[in-house]
Amino acid sequence: MAPISLSIRKATPADLPAVLALVRSAYRGESSRAGWTTEAGLVDDQRIDETGLLAKINEPLGAVLVAEDEAGDILACCEVLKQSDTLGYFGLFAVNPLRQAGGIGRTVLTAAEEYAKQTWGIREMEMSVIWTREELIQYYIRRGYTRTEKTKPFPYAELVGGKALRDDLYFSILIKAL
């Protein structure tokens, strides 16, 4: 596959509809099954709503980053958060399911780590992954993350317009020194 030219920038409220559609299509539902990893078999909701996404876009100690192709189409996104003077958080990571496994995710993850280092001086990046998603955990391990003993509860009570398909979900916390 030819290398793709991406420009990565901080999202603004004007990007909300495109980012919302991207996240929903990548994480859950039938569209997400076109990608190589999905939560479709674990959770049947919409992942995030307009209010939640707008809060992330406007978060003073964070940023939603978007990756656009040459036509200006948003192919990928993620969020980065400053959790403390040294610790960052990476999440809301999504690549258009029809464009996955071509290196876009790797480019966005690297850019997000760089953004957190340059913007806030972050030295360690944390992320949370549903514990059953071993293929995704292996992907992050290949990017330099390690599993920790820490876990985080799954937000069963805060799902958006749907429900979980299992009752044993929680997040494993991964970490990487930047």
Ligand X SMILES: CC(C)(COP(=O)(O)OP(=O)(O)OC[C@H]1O[C@@H](n2cnc3c(N)ncnc32)[C@H](O)[C@@H]1OP(=O)(O)O)[C@@H](O)C(=O)NCCC(=O)NCCS
Contact pick of 13, 36, 41, 61 for ligand X (by CB under 6 A): 36
Determine, following the binding rule CB under 6 A, whether residue 94 of this chain makes contact with ligand X.
Answer: yes
Side chain identity at residue 107, one-letter code: T
Site string for ligand X, 10-29 (x = CB under 6 A): ----------------xx--
DSSP 8-state assignment for residue 139: H
Contact pick of 135, 149, 158, 167 for ligand X (by CB under 6 A): 135
Determine, following the binding rule CB under 6 A, whether residue 37 of this chain makes contact with ligand X.
Answer: yes
CB 57 within 8 A of CB 16: yes
Q: What is the smallest separation between the CB atom of 130 and ligand X, expressed in angstroms? A: 7
| Residue with Cβ nearer ligand X (36 or 156) | 36
Determine, following the binding rule CB under 6 A, whether residue 53 of this chain makes contact with ligand X.
Answer: no
Instruction: For 49-117, give the DSSP string.
Output: -HHHHHHHHH-TTEEEEEEE-TT--EEEEEEEEE-SSSEEEEEEEEE-GGG-SSSHHHHHHHHHHHHHH
Instruction: Please work out, in degrees rounded to the nearest 5, the angle formed at the alpha carbon of residue 142 by the alpha carbons of 129 and 25.
Output: 45
CB 109 within 8 A of CB 92: no
| Residue with Cβ nearer ligand X (19 or 37) | 37
Residue numbers at the binding site for ligand X (CB under 6 A): 26-27, 35-38, 93-95, 100-106, 129, 135-136, 139, 142
